[in-house]
Amino acid sequence: MADLPEMHKNVLSLIGFGKERATTSSYISKLTGLNDVDVRSIISELNTKYRILIGSGLTGFYYVTNEDERRECLLNLRGRAAKINYRADVMELSPLVNPENFIF
C-alpha cells in the first residue's frame, strides 16, 4: 500500500472494518475536504485498481472482512448492474422524445 496516492491513504484511514463499522461518504468528505463524487471515485479506484475490498451499503463504506459481507456486496453490485443494463436497453430501443408531446 506504500504506492497509494496520499489522498487514497487518507480515505482508507477513515473506512471501518466490517459492515457494522461502515463510514459514510459525507463523513469522509468532511474530514478530507473532498467532494462526494471524488470520495466515491477514489473508493472505486481502490476497489478496481488496487484490489482493496471495500463494500458499501445504506450505512456507508467498509472493508469487506468475511464471506457473508462479500456475498452481500456481490449481490448488490450485480443487482445494480442488471438495472443499469436494462435502462441502457430501453434507451437504445426507445424512440427519441418529441418536445411537442410534452406540453403541459
Q: What is the DSSP string of 40-62?
A: HHHHHHHHHTS---EEEETTEEE
CA atoms within 13 A on the CB side of 5: 8
Region 68-84 average pLDDT = 96
pLDDT band at 43 (very low <50, low <70, confident <90, very high): very high
The model's pLDDT over 11-31, given as tens digits with 9 standing for 90+, comes to 999 999 999 999 999 999 999
What are the backbone dihedrals phi and psi of residue 33, each rounded to the nearest 5 degrees, phi first?
A: 85, 0
Is pLDDT at 40 greater than 90 in this prediction? yes
Instruction: Give the pLDDT confidence score for residue 103 in this predicted structure.
Output: 76
Q: What is the DSSP letter of 15?
A: -
Is pLDDT at 104 greater than 80 in this prediction? no
Is pLDDT at 79 greater than 80 in this prediction? yes
What are the backbone dihedrals phi and psi of residue 62, each rounded to the nearest 5 degrees, phi first?
A: -155, 155
A 10 A CB-CB count for 63 gives: 18
